[in-house]
Amino acid sequence: MTESRPAFALDPEQRAWCARLRDLAEQRLRPLAENAEPGRVNRPLLAALGELGLLDRLFDSGALDLCLLRESLAYACTEAETALALQGLGACPVREHGSPAQRQRWLPGVRAGRAVAAFALTEPEAGSDAAALALAARPAPDGGWRLTGGKRWISNAPEADFYTVFARTTPGAGSRGVTAFLVPADRPGLGGEPLEMLSPHPIGTLTFDEVPVTADDILGEPDRGFRVAMGTLNRLRPSVGAFAVGMAQAALDAALAHTAERRAFGGPLAGLQSVTHRTAEMATRTEAARLLVYAAAAAFDRGEPDVARTSAMAKLLATETAQYVVDSAVQLHGARALHRGHLLEHLYREVRAPRIYEGASEVQLTIIAKELYR
């Protein structure tokens, strides 16, 4: 007899926790985000996430709790959600594959919000095709390697305190010849510059000019870094969907409030069938995305074998849904939603990137199809 799978309704304790998170994000975290310089690492915000225990929760929670955390923060303060998520992306490889010395050196600072982590995978010519990485790790006379090349579109660069860097140690070996290194920001030869992006998050380039690394800097095993990267992305992929769901819910709630109050053509906008059909579609898609995100996260927590497929489905549906819902909310608001500083103007800039990073929607479709035909 097949074991029944749980229905994804939150229990009262989970709902109360999500409500507390929204309040914390609105009251404690949003003011720190609003007072920060766009495109720079917000260290006071990270310190507050550490003080509130949310960075501990990031590392100590299962995938479902992580989704609830990210969704709740995204609803009230996207900057806080992103700052938290980037700590996880950069430091999860250290937690899962680091040596005792590496963990002791870096993880307490990451959990406290004092040490800023970054995940350096993408290169100018190797984005979705991560196996095509070209950053060279060449053997050095001292038994280590020298890193030469560049990375691009790296969140928290160039301001992070350390980087999880993926470099090619065996030329011509595809994904089998990549090694993950923990590279502190003060290593000689490591540089970079910020990039100005549509959304206000810190992101930039890294340059490696004979940057020295040794066996003590390896995360996991030599030539097995691709597993480190994919393991991290598979764990976080459903929660990227949760981030998107949080933004979609915020946009939906804004649209409902606006259309109930805004009067046009002799009555409220909510009296027009074209408007209510649009909000009904927005709500249905948001709830469907939420349920698939929760299902993928729960499947990861249970260790199910098809987690790659369900995680890809969750990220695909949630990020595409969020784009639709935010765009629809802007349309229902009209020009006021495009005014700088409006919630929907902010969400409109935020919502575009998740359809690209950590695997673009087209990559998710490829993963799903591959798993279906396996």
- Catalytic positions, written as ranges: 358
Count Cβ atoms below 10 Å from residue 33 Cβ, excluding itself.
Answer: 22
Amino acid type, 149: G
Angstrom distance (rounded) from CA 222 to CA 216: 11
Closest residue by Cα to residue 140 from 189, 192, 94: 189
For the chain, report the end-to-end CA distance as a whole number of angstroms.
24
Residues in Cβ contact with 270 at an 8 Å cutoff, skipping those fewer than 6 apart: 256, 259, 260, 276, 279
- List the beta bridge partners of residue 194: 204
Quote the CA–CA distance of 109 and 150 in Å, as a whole number. Answer: 26
Distances (CA, A) of 357 to 128, 144, 155, 203, 311: 9, 31, 10, 12, 14
What is the number of other CB atoms lying within 10 angstroms of the CB of residue 161? 18
The token pair at 101 is 């010395």
- CA–CA separation, 92 vs 115, rounded Å? 13
What does the alpha-carbon distance between residue 188 and residue 71 come to, in Å, rounded to a whole number?
A: 39
Cα 194 to chain centroid, rounded:
19
C-alpha dihedral (192, 194, 195, 197), degrees to nearest 10: 140
Q: Find residue 146's DSSP bridge partners.
A: 138, 212
Run of H or E including 136: strand 136-139
DSSP 327-373: HHHHHHHGGGGGSTT-HHHHHHHHSSGGGTTTS-HHHHHHHHHHHHT
